[in-house]
Structure 1
Amino acid sequence: MLQTSALVAHSTDLNLIIRHVLAGLGHGMHAGRERGAGVEFSEYRAYAPGDEWRRVDWKLLARADRYYVREAERDSHVAVWLWLDASASMAEPSREVAGLDKLWFARTMLACLAAVAQRQGDAFGLVMCGGGRVEFTPAGRGPRQLQRVLAQLSRVKAQGALPDEATLRANLHFARAPSLIFAVSDFLEWPSPLSEALLRLRRLQHDVRILALRTQAEVDASFKAGAGYRDPEQPDGLHRMGQAEREAYRQALTEHFDALATSCRQHDIVRCEARIEQPLALVLRSWLQLAGARARC
């Protein structure tokens, strides 16, 4: 399971990683459909003035002596917003794969989604939150937009805390028309200013899909006994992981992510959880399949 992440964790070439991860993936981002002159047949309807003659079914005209137009379905084009938590906690490293941390996994995942959006012809933009600030790459289409987004993702560093609620609320104007929001974070705080911003976007009818990242050590509390750990976003000293602390940590983390799952179900937010040591393609496929299953309901 670790091999894929271990092989690419040292690479800084996002284009190379994208090709590696997306090879044979075969999934799009959204299953929204609209009728039009697409390629997947849906139904016939009577001809109406203004319809294109090339859409008339001439064989059916010969049989029925009436003009009918072939309706088809095509993918609807929506704006895709990629939201990255670049706060200090995202610098948490894997204890199993050298050179791998949460931020690397998160920004690489969003880079792959940007490539999928570009292939689908969707407009896509980037929102990065860290150091108490919000940074935007405005939505656009095409290969140049992809390179702009990849350049921003390549430069970002995990630092500081997430912006406060007032700052995030003031910056939610980026998503005006209904959009897809793909947000990646460790979500170690929920509720939080970030969760409130995402819930507000959901109430505004945006399609919100989150990926919650953890390390394998966080999942099974396999930190070294007696070692000291410091919360990078809270200057409140060292924490040591003895046996009693390990059990309390494991219980608290389970309760936290159970509460996160409940909140996402209540607000119809697609939620995927992953360990950063898992292969990128496997996590990406799982996230898109969860979203696709919700869209087909």
Structure 2
Amino acid sequence: MLPTPALLAHAANLDLVIRHVLAGLGHGIHAGRERGAGVEFSEYRAYAPGDEWRRVDWKLLARADRYYVREAERDSHVAAWLWLDASASMAEPSYAMPGLDKLWFARTALACVAAIAQRQGDAFGLVVCADGRAEVTPASRGPRQLQRVLAALARASASGTLPAAEAMKTALRIAAAPAVVFAASDCLDWPSPLSEALQRLRHLRHDVRLLALRTQAEVDGSFPSGVAYRDRETSGSEVLHRLLPTDRVAYRDRVFQHFAGVAAHCRQHDIALTQARIEEPLEAVLRGWLRPPAARGARR
């Protein structure tokens, strides 16, 4: 039996967790190579109107009396940008799996994406949004970059609020070249500066993939009876909230409406959305998140 997210959350070595999760996953961020006028020969194909004459193989024309062009392959590396919502609400724990919370799931999923990018030879960087700031680890390649990103993810703690729109603008300057953006958030604050940043990145033609995380209790209202809650992201808040059994139907309806709005916003702006519960197997969630946007719909 594969370890549950709760068991993995107790592992001290993030590298070992990543190796376990990625074993047999078999997915990359993008196709590693693409056809074109590159330098590594792939195959011949018949000439078609519009092909460049410099790609015609004239020696083959002399032998076969037909026009053929040389197809080649070239590397199609793109940068991967990892965006982590580390605001206070991401500290919400699972009541079904002790020791597991939304932040652990989000940063472990992003760590796996970083490891895949490093394996593919892509540049990758990280943006951590917490305490009203956006902390950026610039994009680079290689094993050392992976360790830098993993260290930054390990340091992240759920606190404060998302950065304001002005702070997000600085982070938006990072992705000048084509990029795949993997953002992990609970999307409770939506619309928000984060949603506006992702929308802007998509309008700049980046491939934006959002992972919206909830706990099972947040999905169905199965919080322990009589437990009081305080708003984690309101500074100095002393207001306690209690979810009574009679409130659960209304709660589920409000949650459904909120996330239906998140999904509608993502569809409107062509942001690929994956919705998941942190109690789900991490491998399965990653498989859906990594799938090219055209090949999937939103998970529910």
TM-score normalised by structure 1 residue count: 0.89
Check whether the contact 2:41–2:71 (CA below 8 A) recurs between aligned residues: no
Aligned CA RMSD, in angstroms, stands at: 2.6
1:171 aligned residue: 171
- Partner-residue secondary structure (3-state), 2:180: strand
Check whether the contact 1:47–1:56 (CA below 8 A) recurs between aligned residues: no
Give unpaired runs (5+ residues) of structure 1.
none
- Partner-residue secondary structure (3-state), 2:289: helix
1:7 aligned residue: 7
- Partner-residue secondary structure (3-state), 1:149: helix
1:134 positional shift: 0.8
Deviation sequence 1:64-120 (CA, Å, 0-9, x none): 157845314455111110000011111111111121111100000000000111111
Paired with 1:14 and 1:276, the residues of 2 have a C-alpha distance of 17
1:263 aligned residue: 265
1:230 positional shift: 1.2
2:276 aligned residue: 274
By relative contact order (CA 8 Å, sep 6+), the higher-ranking structure is: 1
- Partner-residue secondary structure (3-state), 1:183: strand
- Partner-residue secondary structure (3-state), 2:4: helix
Runs of 4+ in 1 over 6 A off after TM superposition: 55-58
Deviation sequence 1:32-88 (CA, Å, 0-9, x none): 844234586584558965x7xxx9698x56851578453144551111100000111
Letter of the 1:257 partner, please give it. Answer: F
Paired with 1:193 and 1:47, the residues of 2 have a C-alpha distance of 46
Paired with 1:183 and 1:202, the residues of 2 have a C-alpha distance of 12
1:137 positional shift: 0.6
Give unpaired runs (5+ residues) of structure 2.
none
- Partner-residue secondary structure (3-state), 1:77: coil
Counterpart selection for 2:245 from 219, 243, 246: 243
1:284 aligned residue: 286
1:6 positional shift: 2.7
State, as a whole percentage, how many aligned pairs show the same letter: 62
Check whether the contact 2:85–2:185 (CA below 8 A) recurs between aligned residues: yes
Check whether the contact 1:30–1:291 (CA below 8 A) recurs between aligned residues: no
Q: Number of residues paired by the alignment? A: 290
- Partner-residue secondary structure (3-state), 1:171: helix
Structure 1 residues 44 and 70, CA gap change in structure 2 (3 angstroms): farther
Check whether the contact 1:31–1:292 (CA below 8 A) recurs between aligned residues: no
TM-score normalised by structure 2 residue count: 0.88
Check whether the contact 2:44–2:69 (CA below 8 A) recurs between aligned residues: no
Correspondences of 1:198-277 after superposition (within 5 Å): 198-234=198-234, 235-277=237-279
1:155 aligned residue: 155
Paired with 1:223 and 1:264, the residues of 2 have a C-alpha distance of 28
